Amino acid sequence: MNYDFSRELRLLTPEDYKSVFKQAHRAGSPHFTILARENSLSHPRLGLAVPKKQIKTAVGRNKFKRITRESFRNKQHSLPAKDFVVIAKKSAQDLSNEDFNKLLDKLWHRLSRPSRG
């Protein structure tokens, strides 16, 4: 499998994250929340927040990140030019990979619709 996740598709600096946290549309579930904010680029970017307090083991945090990145990579061409930050919650580690992916797809779709605000 190709896990090349190019730099241009990632939020890299604290400023990138701060701008998303400041003014974001939110789509959530009991397992994780995705924040989205328009960006001035021609493509979407992804940031991840997986606190040790929520997912204790490195294996669990890495699995969360790997599945989220893969889902984003598969969906990136249908996503609008927004910055997305996925924030893990404790119960995310209890999801099967299939359920995790279904839930991500549903939230990507919800955040892809034009905002009504």
Q: Where are the domains of the chain?
A: 7-112
Q: What is the pLDDT of residues 52-104, one digit of tens each?
A: 999 999 999 999 999 999 999 999 999 999 999 999 999 999 999 999 999 99
The per-residue pLDDT for 2 is: 46
Give 5's pLDDT tier (boundaries 50, 70, 90).
low
CATH code 3.30.230.10 for 7-112: yes
Q: What does the H/E/C string look like for the chain?
A: CCCCCCHHHECCCHHHHHHHHHCCEEEECCCEEEEEEECCCCCCEEEEECCCCCCCCHHHHHHHHHHHHHHHHHHHHHCCCEEEEEEECHHHHHCCHHHHHHHHHHHHHHHHCCCCC
Predicted TM-score (pTM) of this structure: 0.89
In tens, the pLDDT along 15-48 reads 989 999 998 889 989 999 999 999 999 999 999 9
